[in-house]
Amino acid sequence: MGKTGWKSEAKALKEKLARAKRRLRDLVGGEAPAEAPGKTKAAPPLSPLAPASFPDLPEIAGARFAVAAAGVRYAGRTDVMVATLAPGSTLAGVFTRSATRAASVLDAQAKIGRGLTAPDGAAIVVNSGNSNAFTGRAGVISVAEICAAARTAFGVPEGAVLTSSTGVIGEPLPHDRIADALGPMALRLDAGALAEAARAIMTTDTFPKGAAAEIATEGGTIRIAGIAKGSGMIAPDMATMLVYIFTDAAIAAPALQKIVAGAADRSFNCITVDGDTSTSDAVIVAATGQSRAAPLLDMRCADARAFADALGRVMRDLAWQVVRDGEGATKFVEVAVTGAADDSDAHRVAMAIANSPLVKTAIAGQDANWGRVVMAVGKSGAAADRDRLAIRFGPHVVAENGARAQGYDEAAVSAYMRAQDLVIGVDLGLGRGARTVWTCDLTHGYISINGDYRS
Amino acid sequence: MGKTGWKSEAKALKEKLARAKRRLRDLVGGEAPAEAPGKTKAAPPLSPLAPASFPDLPEIAGARFAVAAAGVRYAGRTDVMVATLAPGSTLAGVFTRSATRAASVLDAQAKIGRGLTAPDGAAIVVNSGNSNAFTGRAGVISVAEICAAARTAFGVPEGAVLTSSTGVIGEPLPHDRIADALGPMALRLDAGALAEAARAIMTTDTFPKGAAAEIATEGGTIRIAGIAKGSGMIAPDMATMLVYIFTDAAIAAPALQKIVAGAADRSFNCITVDGDTSTSDAVIVAATGQSRAAPLLDMRCADARAFADALGRVMRDLAWQVVRDGEGATKFVEVAVTGAADDSDAHRVAMAIANSPLVKTAIAGQDANWGRVVMAVGKSGAAADRDRLAIRFGPHVVAENGARAQGYDEAAVSAYMRAQDLVIGVDLGLGRGARTVWTCDLTHGYISINGDYRS
C-alpha cells in the first residue's frame, strides 16, 4: 500500500474509532472510554444531580469534631471522624432493620435504646473503608476496643460512645489504626470541623452531604446541622447510609427519639436507590442543650413543633442528597401516591414503583412508559382497582379510569420526561392513604459501578 | 508524514479500535458496535444462554395448532397462535397475581376456576404484539369478540375458549385482525405445528422455548409437550410470561389443576429476572385424554405420580428457558437456600438474593462478592442469625459461622465465577426450610433493552 493508501486507511480507522467511542460514551453515560479496560475502577464522576455547593453549616455549641487519615483502607484521604458532645447532651437514633446488622449497629442501638442521656458527655466515632460487618466475634471486639480508646481520649464513659463503620463487608477491621488516631484527634477538636467530617465518612459518594436549619424562639435561636453519606442503599463493597445531626436544643432523650423516629419514616424510610438494604445504616441525632432557647419540655408547644419540623426538613434534605448521589443517577424522581386504602398501602405502591427496574430504566430512557407504572401498582400487593387508577407524569395526566387518558399528548409528555427532576403521580381512587417517596433512575452507570470486573 | 508514519499510525489506530470494540463487547454482552447509535433498537442478539436447538416435540393426540400473521403490531412474522382441544379434554391454569390483570387473564381465570372440563372441545387463542392490558371496557369487549369468533371458527362453546395477549400495554387491541384470522386458521390446524406456535407468541424473546416428556405406563405412553415465551417478568412494552402445555393424559380437571398449581410453585414461581410482575402471566395445561394409557384416577398411584413428576420437569425446563432468555442475561444462577426456619422463609431469602441488583451486578462482573449475599439475607425479612450463616459459590464455602470461611481461596472462587452456570448456596443454620430459585445476572444489556431512548 502506498502513502495515500495508508493515509486513507488511517482516516477511515479514525472515523471508526470515533464512532466506537461515541457509542461507548452512550453506553456508560458520559464516561470516556478506558484505555486499559477492565482492571482498574476510576473514581466516579460527580453526580449530575449534585447541589451547586456544600452548604454553610452553623456551629453547634457543645459539639466539636475532628477528622484523621488513619489508613483503614484508603490512602491519601481522611477516613475517621469524631464528634464529641458536651455533658448533658441527649442522643437519639434509628438503625437498619437488617437481620445481619453490623456489630457497631447492634452496640449503638443497645446504648441508645429509647433515647440516651449523657450526663458525662458522649462521643461518636465513625470510620470509612471497612464496615466491620459479618466479621463475627472479631467485629464485637473491634467495637469494644474503639469504645475503650474513645473513653481514654475524650473522657466519656463507654456507654456513651457510639460507633459506625462503613466500607467493605467481611474483612477484619484494623481497629488499632482507629484507636491510635483518637488521642491526637482529641487535641484538635473544633466546632467548625463538621464539613471536614462530612468528607471523612464518604465512600463511593461523589459529593459530601450537609444540611442545616435555625429556629428562632423567644429565648434564643436553636441551630441544627447535619451530615450524611450514602450513594445507594448499599454501595459496591462500601455499604451504607450514615447520618449525624447535631443541635443545641435542650430536649429530653425520649422526646428526641420520638421525633427522630417519626421524621425518619417520612425521610430516610421514603428513599430508595436500588431496594437493597445496608447492614450498617444509622441515623444519630445529638442535642447538646446549649442554646439559649428555653428547653423543649412540652412537645405540643409551638417551639417544639417548629423544632420537629426543622429537624424533619434537615433529615429530608439529607435523604434527598443521598438519592441525588445514587449510583449512576441522572434523574431525581418523586413518586407521589394518593387515594390508597391507607398510608401503608400507599407506601407499598410508591416503593413498588420506585424500586421497579423497568420503571427506573424507562425514566433513564426519558420514556413516558406509564404501562410499567401500571405493572408496578399491580405487583405491589396493595389494594388497587384497575378501573379507578390515574397516573400522571408531572402535570400531564396519562391514564385515568383504567385506560389511557383522553387527550393524552405524547409530545408534551415526552418533552416533560427530559427534565432532571420528575414527578410520577398515582391516584388509586380508593381512599385517603397517601405517601411520597424519592428515587433515581437506573442507568448503565449503575451497572458499571457495581458490575464491572473487579479482578 | 511518510508512508512508514502513516503505516504505524494506522497500526496504532487499529489497536485502539480493537480495544474500544472489546470494551463495547464487554459492555453490551457480545453485541457488535452499532454503526448509527441511539435512535433505532436492533433485534436483540441470541442469548448466550440459549439451548443449542429447539427440542423435538411429540404430537399430542387431540391437540392441533395453527399460526397466522395477523399484523396485530408486527409486520412480516406470525403473531397469532391457536390450539384446539378435542371434546373431553380437561384444562388447568395458573395466572399472575397482579392487581392490574389484563382482561384476557380475568376471563381465562374465571373459566378455568378449579379446573375446566370441556365435553365439547376447547380452544386457546394467543396473540403477541399487544397485551390488551389497561384498556378498560374496550379490553373486555375485545376478549368477548375473539371468543365469539373462535366459537364460529372452531365450533367450541365460548366458555371453553381461553385467550392470552402479550405486548404493549394500554393500546386498544385490534381484535378484528385476530378474529378475521381464525376462520382460515381452522382450515390448517395441524398436530405438528406446536413449534411454529412457539415462535408466534414470542415478543422480545431471543429464542423459542419448548420442552417435552413421555411417561411409559402399562396401558400405553403418556406424552407431554409444552411451549413458553418470556424474557423478563415483563419485557419492555411487551409484557409477560406465557406457557401452554399439552398432554394426552386422561385426568379429571380438578386433579390436573392441583398438580399444575403445585408444580408452578416449584418452577414458574421460583424464577425471577427483574422482580417485576406481568399483568398477563398465564400457564395453561390441557389434557386431551386420548392416550391409550389408563385414566389417571387415583393421584396416589405410580402412573399418576410419574405423570405429575414429568409435568413438573417440563414446567421447570420451560421456566429455566425463560431465565436463560432473561433480558441481557449472561449467567444462569441457581440460588439454593437451606436451613431456614421454614420453606416460606427459605423462599423469601432466595428471592431477596435472586432479585438483589447488587448481587446480580456482582455476578455479571464475575465477582465473588459474598458480602452482598449477606446483605440480601439481612433485608429479606426472614429469620436469620448472622453467626450461623454459611455461604458457598458452587463447591467453594466462602463464609461460615458469621465470618469469612477459614481457608477461603479467592483465586479458586474467582475462577469458579467465570462459569456460565453458577450456584449460590446459603445455609441459615436454623431449621429444615429449603427452597431453590433461578435467576440471571443484571448487565448493561438489560439497561440497553429497557432504558435506551425509544423516541
Say what the ipTM of the complex is: 0.72
Which of B24, B236, B386 is nearest residue A24 as measured by Cβ atoms? B24
- B166 with B220, same domain: the answer is yes
pLDDT at B32 over 50: no
Strand partners, A164: A126
Q: Looking at chain A, which residue has its C-alpha nearest residue B11?
A: A10
- A216 with A362, same domain: the answer is no
Which of B13, B447, B454 is nearest residue A17 as measured by Cβ atoms? B13
Give the domain extent around B366.
332-451
What's the CA gap between A281 and B308, in Å, rounded? 47
- Summarize the confidence of residues B393-404 as an average pLDDT: 91
- Summarize the confidence of residues B313-334 as an average pLDDT: 90
Q: Are strands B282-287 and B242-247 parallel, antiparallel or unpaired?
A: parallel
- B216 with B254, same domain: the answer is yes
Q: Dihedral angle at the C-alpha atoms of B437, B440, B441, B444, nearest 10 degrees?
A: -150
- B397 with B418, same domain: the answer is yes
Contact residues on chain A for B358, CB-CB shorter than 8 A: 232, 234, 236, 274, 276, 450
- Summarize the confidence of residues B168-175 as an average pLDDT: 89
A interface test, pick of B23, B97, B370 with most A CB neighbours within 10 Å = B23
With CB atoms and an 8 Å threshold, state whether A380 touches B99. Answer: yes
pLDDT of B89-145, one tens digit each?
A: 999 999 888 878 889 999 999 999 999 999 999 999 999 999 898 888 899 999 999
Q: Looking at chain A, which residue has its C-alpha nearest residue B102?
A: A386
Query: Would you place residue A43 in the very low, low, confident or very high pLDDT band (cuts 50, 70, 90)?
Result: low
According to the model, what pLDDT value does residue A239 have? 47
pLDDT of A120-169, one tens digit each?
A: 999 999 999 998 988 888 999 999 999 999 999 999 999 999 999 988 88
With CB atoms and an 8 Å threshold, state whether A366 touches B453. Answer: yes
Q: Looking at chain A, which residue has its C-alpha nearest residue B402?
A: A136
With CB atoms and an 8 Å threshold, state whether A100 touches B377. Answer: yes
State chain B's mean pLDDT as an integer: 86
pLDDT at B292 over 90: yes
Least Cα distance to A56 among A198, A218, A188, A267 occurs for A198
With CB atoms and an 8 Å threshold, state whether B403 touches A378. Answer: no
Query: Would you place residue A33 in the very low, low, confident or very high pLDDT band (cuts 50, 70, 90)?
Result: very low
According to the model, what pLDDT value does residue B280 have? 74
Quote the minimal CA–CA distance from A427 to chain B in Å.
14
B interface test, pick of A8, A41, A107, A276 with most B CB neighbours within 10 Å = A276
According to the model, what pLDDT value does residue A190 have? 96
Contact residues on chain B for A356, CB-CB shorter than 8 A: 275-276
Quote the minimal CA–CA distance from B277 to chain A in Å.
6
Which is more confident, B274 or B107? B107
What's the CA gap between B359 and B137, in Å, rounded? 42
Which of A27, A99, A375 is nearest residue B100 as measured by Cβ atoms? A375
- B381 with B259, same domain: the answer is no
Q: Which three cell numbers stand for residue A375?
A: 405493572
Q: Which amino acid is at A300?
A: R
Residues whose CB is less than 8 angstroms from the CB of residue B276 and which lie 6 or more positions away in sequence, other chains included:
A356, A357, A358, A372, A375, A376, A379, B232, B233, B234
- A301 with A342, same domain: the answer is no
pLDDT at A1 over 70: no
Q: How many domains does chain B have?
A: 2
Asked whether residue B34 is domain-assigned, the answer is no
**Is the Cβ–Cβ distance between B428 and B388 less than 8 Å?**
yes
Quote the minimal CA–CA distance from A441 to chain B in Å.
10
- Summarize the confidence of residues A355-360 as an average pLDDT: 90
Asked whether residue A226 is domain-assigned, the answer is yes
Quote the minimal CA–CA distance from A198 to chain B in Å.
25
**pTM score, two decimals?**
0.77
Asked whether residue A274 is domain-assigned, the answer is yes
With CB atoms and an 8 Å threshold, state whether A365 touches B454. Answer: yes
Quote the minimal CA–CA distance from A382 to chain B in Å.
8
According to the model, what pLDDT value does residue B314 have? 93
- Summarize the confidence of residues B345-373 as an average pLDDT: 92
With CB atoms and an 8 Å threshold, state whether B382 touches A2. Answer: no
With CB atoms and an 8 Å threshold, state whether A279 touches B237. Answer: no
According to the model, what pLDDT value does residue B158 have? 97
Last residue of one domain, picked from the residues A294, A324, A354: A324
Last residue of one domain, picked from the residues A301, A324, A347: A324
Q: Is B218 exposed, middle or buried (0-12, 13-18, 19+ CB in 10 A)?
A: exposed
Number of Cβ within a 10 Å radius of residue A15: 11
pLDDT at B30 over 50: no
Contact residues on chain A for B1, CB-CB shorter than 8 A: 7
Q: How many CB pairs under 8 A join A and B?
A: 301
Contact residues on chain B for A134, CB-CB shorter than 8 A: 371, 374, 386, 389, 399, 402-404
Asked whether residue B147 is domain-assigned, the answer is yes
- B144 with B264, same domain: the answer is yes
Asked whether residue B289 is domain-assigned, the answer is yes
Quote the minimal CA–CA distance from A293 to chain B in Å.
41
According to the model, what pLDDT value does residue B44 have? 65
Residue B51, classed as helix, strand or coil, is coil
With CB atoms and an 8 Å threshold, state whether B234 touches A23. Answer: no
With CB atoms and an 8 Å threshold, state whether B22 touches A37. Answer: yes
CA geometry: angle at B110 spanning B106 and B116, to 5°? 135
Which is more confident, A346 or B232? A346
Name the percent of chain B lying above pLDDT 70: 87
Query: Would you place residue A170 in the very low, low, confident or very high pLDDT band (cuts 50, 70, 90)?
Result: confident
Query: Would you place residue B39 in the very low, low, confident or very high pLDDT band (cuts 50, 70, 90)?
Result: very low
Which of A10, A135, A447 is nearest residue B10 as measured by Cβ atoms? A10
Q: Which three cell numbers stand for residue B126?
A: 394467543
With CB atoms and an 8 Å threshold, state whether B447 touches A364. Answer: yes
Contact residues on chain B for A428, CB-CB shorter than 8 A: none
Query: Would you place residue B167 in the very low, low, confident or very high pLDDT band (cuts 50, 70, 90)?
Result: confident
Phi and psi at A225, nearest 5°, equal -140, 135
Asked whether residue A32 is domain-assigned, the answer is no
> Which candidate in A78, A90, A240, A330 is catalytic?
A240
pLDDT of A388-436, one tens digit each?
A: 999 999 999 999 988 889 888 889 999 999 999 999 999 999 999 999 9
Contact residues on chain B for A406, CB-CB shorter than 8 A: none
pLDDT at B452 over 80: no
Asked whether residue A72 is domain-assigned, the answer is yes
Has B240 been annotated as catalytic?
Answer: yes
With CB atoms and an 8 Å threshold, state whether B37 touches A16. Answer: no
Which of B134, B355, B364 is nearest residue A371 as measured by Cβ atoms? B134
- Summarize the confidence of residues B147-162 as an average pLDDT: 97
Of B98-102, B171-175, B207-211, B338-342, the range with the lowest mean pLDDT is: B98-102
> Which candidate in B206, B240, B279, B338 is catalytic?
B240
Contact residues on chain B for A377, CB-CB shorter than 8 A: 99-100
- A276 with A338, same domain: the answer is no
Q: What is the CATH number of the domain that holds B353?
A: 3.10.20.340
pLDDT of A249-301, one tens digit each?
A: 999 999 999 999 988 888 888 787 776 766 778 889 999 999 999 999 988 89
What's the CA gap between B197 and A404, in Å, rounded? 31
Asked whether residue A302 is domain-assigned, the answer is yes
Q: Which three cell numbers stand for residue B316?
A: 421447570
Which of B35, B387, B452 is nearest residue A19 as measured by Cβ atoms? B35
What's the CA gap between B321 and B46, in Å, rounded? 13
- A243 with A127, same domain: the answer is yes
State chain A's mean pLDDT as an integer: 87
Query: Would you place residue B360 in the very low, low, confident or very high pLDDT band (cuts 50, 70, 90)?
Result: very high
What's the CA gap between B119 and B160, in Å, rounded? 9
According to the model, what pLDDT value does residue A82 have? 97
Query: Would you place residue B323 in the very low, low, confident or very high pLDDT band (cuts 50, 70, 90)?
Result: confident
Q: What is the CATH number of the domain that holds A287?
A: 3.60.70.12
Last residue of one domain, picked from the residues B283, B301, B324: B324
According to the model, what pLDDT value does residue B169 have? 82
According to the model, what pLDDT value does residue A5 have? 64
Which is more confident, B29 or A324? A324
- B317 with B369, same domain: the answer is no
- B350 with B215, same domain: the answer is no
Quote the minimal CA–CA distance from B130 to chain A in Å.
12
According to the model, what pLDDT value does residue B203 have? 85
- A340 with A214, same domain: the answer is no
Chain centre to alpha carbon of residue B335: 17
